[in-house]
Amino acid sequence: MSTVIKSVKVPKALAAALARAAKARGVSESELIREGIEHVAGEDGGLDMAALIGPDVGVASGPKDLSSSRRRMAGYGRSRDR
């Protein structure tokens, strides 16, 4: 399992409660924080973008050389006010 280090700022009272709960359960504070994040993230469920836009992927029409054609890219990135 690869991990990412995150820093979390909590009020002193919450930090003390976290320390007490970790000691009572015999686990690390980090483990309790991970459990809490999993609980909250599990409620979200997220969006399955592939399911939402899947039927529409690839139905647009247009030039196939849009990003590689110097003629089509002429002026790209310049302000329109000039």
**In angstroms, what CA-CA distances link 49 with 19, 22, 54, 57, 74?**
39, 37, 8, 11, 33
Q: Does some domain include residue 75?
A: no
**pLDDT, position 77:** 76
Total domains present in the chain: 1
**pLDDT, position 45:** 66
Weakly modelled stretches of the chain, pLDDT under 50: none
Q: Does some domain include residue 21?
A: yes
**pLDDT, position 15:** 96
Q: Does some domain include residue 29?
A: yes
Q: Does some domain include residue 57?
A: no
Q: Does some domain include residue 65?
A: no
Q: Which of 44, 32, 39 is nearest to 8 (CA)?
A: 32
Print the domain residue range for 20. Answer: 9-50
Q: Does some domain include residue 41?
A: yes
Q: Does some domain include residue 77?
A: no
